[in-house]
Amino acid sequence: MPANLTPQYYAAEDAYKKASSVEEKIEALQEMLAVIPKHKGTEKIQADLKRRLSKLREEGEKKAKTARFNPFSIEKQGAGQGIIVGFPNAGKSSLLATMTKAKAKIAAYPFTTTLPLTGMMPYKDILIQLVDTPPLTSEGAPPGLLNTLRGGDLLLIVIDAGSDDCLEQVEKTLSFLTEKRVIQKEIKQNNLPDQPVQDERKYLPYIIVANKMDLQNSEDNLTILNELMPGLTLTGISLKEKTGLDSLKDRIFQALSIIRVYTRAPGKQPDMENPFVLKKGGTVLDLAYNIHRDFPERLKNARVWGSAKFDGQTVARDYVLEDGDIVELNIG
């Protein structure tokens, strides 16, 4: 069966041949996998691409372990990691300082932040890590920043809602992140326009944070943004007046797609202060693994309070948990 490879595939293949770094080769292979037609005639090519991609990733990990200290490499902590991005003076550092109490350097002039800075944001009974980053510009991003962005769980795109160029800030930021394949742009096959192409890359969800809603033009600017970019979800805040912050925290938690699960030992009260954090869709078996690696093999069933039909209901190992559930594991 002929492969019938598309022009997009050949363009990605050409980019792979010209690539000089491991990162560029990985990006080109991911693009080839994304745009290659999916049928029997390309199965061997797909398998070869995946093999090469796996080998390059291993090579990249080995280089990373032996490389010198990288100030743009941020170790994940807490229940999730939100990366703050945006243009100069939009309020990125102020957002970090306000939400986490981190000692961010804040000034009225641009490029105050030159390296990533972290802080922990309290949300109910968990902590979420926020990372402030050097600003984006019309020329792009500082070297090393892309890896920081791709390593996160969520992007917080901060814009100055009171500025006349807030629309430009949104367009340029989204365009840059899409071009660099940090956020997803829907890709479709030429011959099947209604069928999305399978794409194995990791894309990040994002929230557009419209700061400076206390300024006079901010409401009008957001109205214009919603009209020109329908479907865009905006969260308005004012760091100066401390408004909209609780709503933003809720949005961050929801966008991370995580749940909090509490445990209790048989015959005892549940521990409501130290929840386990799972991804949405997590099961009783996932919880057991998070508690102790030996538990999944020994797990018989569990009792659940919260999402179950009745409190203390016995459920199977594959029972899907929800945020706020209390679970008692039956370990054999």
Which tens digits make up the pLDDT trace of 57-111?
888 777 666 555 566 678 889 999 999 999 888 999 999 999 998 876 655 544 5
How far is the C-alpha of 294 from the C-alpha of 288, rounded, in Å?
A: 8
- Residues 47-55 have a mean pLDDT of 89
Residue 206 per-residue DSSP state? E
- 303 — pLDDT class (breaks 50, 70, 90): very high
- Rounded mean pLDDT of 306-312? 93
Q: Report the chain's mean pLDDT, rounded to a whole number.
A: 85
Q: What is the mean pLDDT of residues 130-134?
A: 92
CB-count exposure of residue 192 (10 Å: 0-12, 13-18, 19+):
exposed
**What is the value of pTM for the model shown?**
0.75
CA 65, CA 26: separation in Å to the nearest integer? 18
Length of the chain: 332
Separation of alpha carbons 88 and 90, rounded Å: 6
Distance between CA 10 and CA 138 in Å, rounded? 29
CA 142 – CA 314 distance, rounded (Å) = 53
Strand 271-279 and strand 258-263: pairing? antiparallel
Distance CA 144, CA 70 (A): 8
| Count of Cβ atoms closer than 10 Å to residue 324 Cβ | 15
Query: In the chain, what are the domains?
Result: 7-66 (no CATH), 81-255 (3.40.50.300), 258-331 (3.10.20.30)
pLDDT confidence tier of residue 201, bands split at 50, 70 and 90: low
Average pLDDT over residues 122-132: 95
End-to-end Cα separation, the chain, in angstroms: 53
Q: Residue 50 is encoded by which pair of tokens? A: 């995946």
- What's the pLDDT score for residue 114? 64
What is the Cα Rg of the chain in Å? 23
Quote the tokens at residue 177: 């992140």
User: Beta 313-315 vs 299-305: how paired, if at all?
Assistant: antiparallel
Could you tell me which residues come within 8 angstroms of residue 226 by beta carbon, excluding any fewer than 6 positions away?
232, 234
Tell me the pLDDT tens digit for each residue of 225-262: 888 888 887 899 999 999 999 999 999 999 999 999 99
> Three-state SS across 236-290?
ECECCCCECHHHHHHHHHHHCCEEEEEECCCCCCCEEEEEEEEECCCEHHHHHHH
Over range 197-222, report the average pLDDT. Answer: 84
Cβ contacts of residue 201 below 8 Å, gap of 6+?
A: 30, 34, 181
Rounded to an integer, what distance in angstroms lies between the CA atom of residue 90 and that of residue 95? 9
Q: Is the dihedral of CA 34, 38, 42, 44 positive or negative?
A: positive
- Give CA–CA dist 311/319, Å, rounded: 15
C-alpha distances in Å from residue 112, one per residue of 116, 181, 244: 11, 27, 25
What pLDDT does residue 41 have? 83
Per the model's pLDDT, the better-predicted residue between 248 and 330 turns out to be 248
